[in-house]
Amino acid sequence: MSSQLASLNDWVASVAQLTQPDAIHWCDGSDAENARLVELMLANGDLVKLNEQTHPNCYLHRSSPSDVARVEHLTFVCTRHPADAGPNNNWMDPAEAHREMDALYAGCMRGRTMYVVPYCMGPIDSPLSRCGVEITDSPYVVANMRIMTRMGAAAQARIEREGSFVKGLHSIGELDPNRRFIMHFPEELSIQSYGSGYGGNALLGKKCHALRIASYQARTEGWLAEHMLIVGIENPQGETHYVAAAFPSACGKTNLAMLIPPEGYRRAGWKVWTVGDDICWMHPGADGRLYAINPEAGFFGVAPGTSEKTNANAMAMLDHDAIFTNTGVTADGQPWWEGMTSGTPAKDWQGRDYDKAVGPAAHPNSRFTVSAKQCPSYTAKAEDPQGVPLSAIIFGGRRASLVPLVLEARDWTHGVLVGASMASETTAAATGAVGVVRRDSMAMKPFAGYNFGDYFAHWLSFDKPGAKLPKIFQVNWFRKDADGKFMWPGFGDNMRVLEWMLKRVTGQAHAVETPVGNLPLPADLDTEGLGLDAATLEQLLTLDRAGWKAEMESIGEYLEEFGDRTPEVLKAERARIAAQL
């Protein structure tokens, strides 16, 4: 037996000794295995079969009402030194965390099967991919990991070949909110999760591995693991440029990943290709460019608000071979959620008769899990072992004022500052105080596995001789006028802004230099057929100097939060812009 296989077997044996399962099943990822698991979950009530005529091979899962979202306050990064986790993470001493978790895991799988799930994040043959093994007592987790990762025999063969893998241990425990933790041990490349069966807490390949652990791994190995979509934009000449983009939640990330261009653009021959909607791993290539892979193989998307109007591509992939979690359901067994234009819910997400007065039919964080290959805009480039070369990186947030529709960073250092300082304003739905600016650096606030100061320094380190780095842009689709109405139509019309960016990349478009970045002239944006008046467009592209002065002060205070870990070059860049203003 190879030493690699022995170390995997030893770990599985030690977990079994601790958790005491009735049986151990090594997952091979086969159709037959999946069919058996589905039958098991239908029998025990974990899954409900949906309408076979309208939604073949689709199932509904209802999670415990106290287990419906990520639990940031119970999520810890456990490093030897607290400063290495940084103020952007909850910290716990690794020895204390292991004691806490071992006590929870003791005997927790009695009466259950322990599933060993080998998986690969990224194309199975890509040098940019990394492997993991999740041990879980949840067949629902196994079924989702099969869609979300390259899971099974091929992944296990790679692990046995390479020897290195991220160790993830998960148990649903008693689903008691008071006995729930998600622990990350970046220095050990391991994850431990207990007491939740919900997506981001239980599908350990997703945020836990692909962002928190991978970001630490990436820093050690010289690459980047980011909370970004990857999209290819093909122009009428047949050239495709790939773009990565980071947005906090509720800023249209999935919609941009699956964007459908306006009719005029489609007629002219523009096409959009989806590589990924959530996570992007970027490695420097031999030619100096950054190459990106989507480590995931599926989408774990938020259902409410997804409709023919907002995301027709997403709707088109959800009528077969999908798992729905916490959505409503119609009388004839079709999934339903708020934002859909047809159908009527009969049961809500808890399985009760639907009553609008009691609450929504679908939980606001209800989800769909579906293979990326079912998306109409999917590209086979998502399986390219070399990844796709990036032409641009976009940072965005939700700002009702100040931030223009689009600006281009002056250079890489300025771009890193733009990413580090990106923010969204709170909406009425989230909190009593509307319009409070919350910083969410690179949309990684809950996901960076180490200190943000070190993380900014790692980003800056890519700017070295011979590097051909992507241009960095900032966008804001959410500017409002004096009446509180959105000034930009958004959705497919964001293509008009992407076109200007790509023309900047290829040197075909003008820009006006300002202290905060380069802005397009109104004439540079194709607004044909939009009905957007000149004054509104002017306002969308205007620099508010007084507002930006205050913003620079606020950014300075934010950077101070990370103390002496904040790179001096980033502070100097902020000071340069403030002085120019």
Instruction: Check whether 70 is labelled as a binding-site residue.
Output: yes
277 in a labelled binding site: no
CB 278 within 8 A of CB 503: no
Task: Determine whether the annotation assigns residue 255 to a binding site.
Answer: yes
Write out the catalytic residue numbers: 251
Annotation-wise, does 494 bind a ligand? yes
Residues 104, 183 contacting (CB under 8 angstroms): no
CA–CA distance from 466 to each of 20, 416, 460, 482, 486 (Å)?
Answer: 54, 18, 15, 47, 42
Q: Dmax over Cα atoms in the chain, in whole Å?
A: 72
**At CB < 8 A and 24+ separation, what contacts does 30-36 make?**
30/152, 30/153, 33/152, 34/143, 34/146
User: Is 278 known to sit in a ligand binding site?
Assistant: yes
249 in a known ligand binding site: yes
Rounded to whole angstroms, the Cα distance separating 208 from 200 reads: 7
Was 200 annotated as part of a binding site?
yes
State the DSSP string of 188-206. GTEEEEES--SHHHH-TII
560 neighbors 575 (Cβ within 8 angstroms) = no
- 207 among annotated binding-site residues: yes
CA distance 99 to 113: 24
Residue 359: left if φ>0, alpha if ψ -120 to 50, beta else—which one? left
Residue 199 assigned ligand-binding role: yes
Report whether 492 belongs to an annotated binding site: yes
How far is residue 175's CA from residue 196's CA, in Å, rounded to a whole number? 5
| 342 in a labelled binding site | no
With contact defined as beta carbons under 8 Å apart, do 581 and 548 qualify? yes
Is 86 known as a binding-site position? Answer: no
* Cα 548 to the center of its chain, rounded Å: 29
Q: Find, among 405, 403, 408, the residue nearest to 473 by Cα.
A: 408
Tallying the residues shown for the chain, one arrives at: 581
| Residue list, annotated binding site for GTP | 250-255, 367, 398, 491-494
| Residue list, annotated binding site for Mn(2+) | 207, 227, 278
| Residue list, annotated binding site for substrate | 70, 198-200, 249, 365-367
| Residue list, annotated binding site | 70, 198-200, 207, 227, 249-255, 278, 365-367, 398, 491-494
